């Protein structure tokens, strides 16, 4: 779904923390990445090209498949369709080569764990702006500090315009006081707005994942 791509791209840009609240140059704003604490979660309302619903980012101490490390979880309900994706990574932020395990659950279907053979192929196809967030942020334009009110609260925010507008013109508002940084994003292809956030996140997948059938060399993290 395009909304997922848009959300991950926005996350890749804005998961950054400024070093000073009133800094006004991109080098300063982008000098440090957000130190997302394990257990943090953030839920967004999304509206993009006729796709409406909610999306939740979380950094888990343990995913549905277990394994040492942290699990980045993306869960969504868009147009009444549910999906949960969990990626086992060493730490946040991460690059495609850092992904050591994948679990996916769609709707009422059983949760599935990708075998190692498929994971190897998937890494090469992953387009994760998270890994290039510093460069993406540094190339963007800082438009000023603003007081932004979203359903999750009121924040002092950096108003940023990404340099890469391939998905349409758009702006984002970010704050180091919000998990994952993003408060809201607005553009030609839709919007994302932070509606809730907190700590103590646990896996949205409560069952033990099955090995994906029909694939040789199945393995799990």
Q: What is the CATH number of the domain that holds 28?
A: 2.50.20
Nearest to 6 by CA among 182, 154, 145: 182
Is 190 inside a domain boundary? yes
Is 87 inside a domain boundary? yes
pLDDT value for 49: 77
Token pair listed for 130: 């998270």
Q: SS3 for 122?
A: helix
pLDDT value for 117: 76
Token pair listed for 44: 């967004």
Nearest to 208 by CA among 65, 62, 105: 65
pLDDT value for 139: 73
Give the whole-angstrom CA distance, residue 31 versus residue 16. Answer: 8
Q: DSSP letter at 189?
A: T
Q: DSSP letter at 208?
A: P
Token pair listed for 158: 């950096």
Token pair listed for 170: 């758009």
Is 78 inside a domain boundary? yes
Nearest to 13 by CA among 165, 126, 94, 132: 132
Nearest to 11 by CA among 204, 185, 151: 185
Is 215 inside a domain boundary? no
pLDDT value for 91: 78
Token pair listed for 77: 């309900």
pLDDT value for 23: 38
Is 107 inside a domain boundary? yes
Question: 131 is in which domain, residue-wise?
Answer: 2-210
Nearest to 155 by CA among 146, 164, 163: 146
Give the whole-angstrom CA distance, residue 13 versus residue 10. Answer: 5
Q: How many domains does the chain have?
A: 1
Can you give the pLDDT of all 221 residues of the chain as single tens digits?
A: 444 444 444 444 444 333 333 334 666 665 444 578 899 999 999 988 778 999 999 999 888 888 778 899 999 998 888 999 999 988 777 777 788 888 999 998 999 998 877 777 676 666 554 545 556 666 778 888 999 999 999 999 888 887 765 545 788 888 888 888 889 988 887 889 999 999 999 999 999 999 887 544 444 44
pLDDT value for 14: 41
Give the whole-angstrom CA distance, residue 63 versus residue 153. Answer: 29
Is 216 inside a domain boundary? no
The answer to whether 89 and 70 have CB atoms below 8 angstroms apart is: yes
Separation in Å, CA 47 to CA 13, 63, 87, 193, 208: 19, 28, 24, 9, 32
Nearest to 209 by CA among 95, 85, 96, 51: 85
What angle is formed at CA 207 by the lines to CA 59 and CA 46, rounded to 5 degrees? 45
pLDDT value for 65: 82
Is 142 inside a domain boundary? yes
Is 218 inside a domain boundary? no
């Amino acid at each position: 779904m395009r909304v997922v791509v848009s959300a991950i791209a926005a996350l890749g840009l804005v998961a950054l923390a400024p070093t000073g609240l009133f800094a006004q140059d991109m080098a300063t704003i982008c000098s440090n990445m957000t130190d997302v604490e394990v257990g943090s979660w953030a839920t967004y309302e999304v509206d993009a090209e006729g796709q409406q619903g909610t999306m939740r980012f979380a950094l888990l101490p343990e995913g549905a498949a277990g394994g040492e490390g942290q699990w980045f979880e993306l869960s969504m309900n868009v147009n009444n369709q549910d999906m949960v994706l969990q990626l086992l990574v060493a730490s946040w932020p991460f690059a495609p080569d850092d992904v050591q395990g994948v679990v996916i659950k769609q709707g009422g279907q059983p949760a599935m764990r990708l075998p190692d053979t498929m994971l190897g192929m998937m890494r090469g196809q992953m387009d994760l702006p998270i890994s290039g967030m510093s460069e993406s942020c540094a190339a963007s334009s800082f438009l000023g500090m603003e007081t932004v009110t979203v359903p999750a609260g009121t924040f002092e925010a950096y108003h940023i315009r990404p340099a890469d507008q391939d998905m349409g013109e758009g702006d984002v508002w970010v704050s180091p006081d919000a998990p994952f940084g993003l408060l809201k994003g607005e553009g030609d292809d839709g919007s994302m707005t932070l509606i809730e956030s907190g700590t103590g996140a646990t896996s949205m997948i409560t069952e033990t994942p099955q090995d994906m059938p029909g694939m040789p060399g199945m393995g799990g993290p």
